[in-house]
Amino acid sequence: MASIPPSQTIYIRNLNDKIQKDVLKHTLYGLCVAYGRVLDIVALKTLKMRGQAFVAFSDITSSTAALRQLNGRKIFGRPMQIEYALSKSNIVAQNDGTYRFNEPHKHMSGKQRKQLLGLTGDLAAVSCGEKRRQSEGADGRVAKRRVTEGEQDESSDEEIGPAVPQTEASEDEPSLTLFVTNLPENISADVLTGLFQQYAGFKHVRRIPGKNDMAFVDYESLESATAARGVLDGFKLSAEQAMKVAYSR
């Protein structure tokens, strides 16, 4: 099996393909940003690419830390399988001046990736790098290319991840239960569970009958509840809607 050199971009597979793309990207951002600056996240819903994602970091140290710490971690009921990406992401290529605007961009399916890495036993290591670029292409779709081609920017900084934490101290008394508001009307309990179960001590999500935009989340310790609130308060579940997380009174 051919080895994969370290890369600023990691490739994640075995993701739950029933989760909405925006929610999946926000969740991946929340997990990965702890290890360094996240430049871009690509999660496609095409037939061959569903259940897979690419996360580009600003440096290899950050991508390596994320790979080592998050590989095997469960989100939305499935353990993530993480490797380095086989090719350079668009945003990384643009930053280092190697991006080719006229080059066709294709994403590699899991089966193609296995074949390329030599699991079929018939690929030579010398030609592996070039075939990766031809098969997988650059995996990030960044704003500059979208503006050039008139495409919509789906991975801008405004659409991904938690809002900047507020500097004002909260006057709320810490509680084992969090009160979550300003949720999208169609968000499911499974999606909320996937977001909040990332923090140790998670117990369960309780929906409020007739109030689809609110929920309670219970933890076993104040430390766990505080950690979850600190990250997820202001987390954007859509481009214009950030959920609010407070201690329950």
The mean pLDDT value for 125-139 works out to: 47
On whether the pTM is more than 0.85, the answer is no
What is the reported pLDDT for 21?
84
Pick from 126-130, 197-201, 229-233, 242-246 the range whose average pLDDT is largest: 242-246
pLDDT in tens, 84-94: 988 888 888 88
DSSP code at position 161: S
Q: CA 107 to CA 51: how far, in whole Å?
A: 13
The mean pLDDT value for 141-163 works out to: 41
Tell me which amino acid residue 39 is: L
- Taking Cα atoms as reference points, which of 159, 171, 173 lies closest to residue 225? 173
What is the reported pLDDT for 179?
94
Residue predicted with more confidence, 118 or 197:
197
Q: CA 115 to CA 132: how far, in whole Å?
A: 11
With residues binned 3-state (H G I as helix, E B as strand, rest as coil), the percentages for the chain, rounded to 5, are 30, 20, 45
pLDDT band at 144 (very low <50, low <70, confident <90, very high): very low
Residue 6, token pair as written in the block: 């370290």
Q: Does residue 231 carry a pLDDT above 70?
A: yes
pLDDT band at 109 (very low <50, low <70, confident <90, very high): low
Number of residues that make up the chain: 249
Residue 151, token pair as written in the block: 């495409």
Q: Is 11 exposed, middle or buried (0-12, 13-18, 19+ CB in 10 A)?
A: buried
Q: Which residues contact 220 (CB under 8 A, 6 or more apart)?
A: 176, 201, 202, 203
3-class secondary-structure state, position 128: helix
What is the reported pLDDT for 156?
39
Half-sphere exposure for 236 (CA within 13 Å, toward CB)? 19
The mean pLDDT value for 139-150 works out to: 42
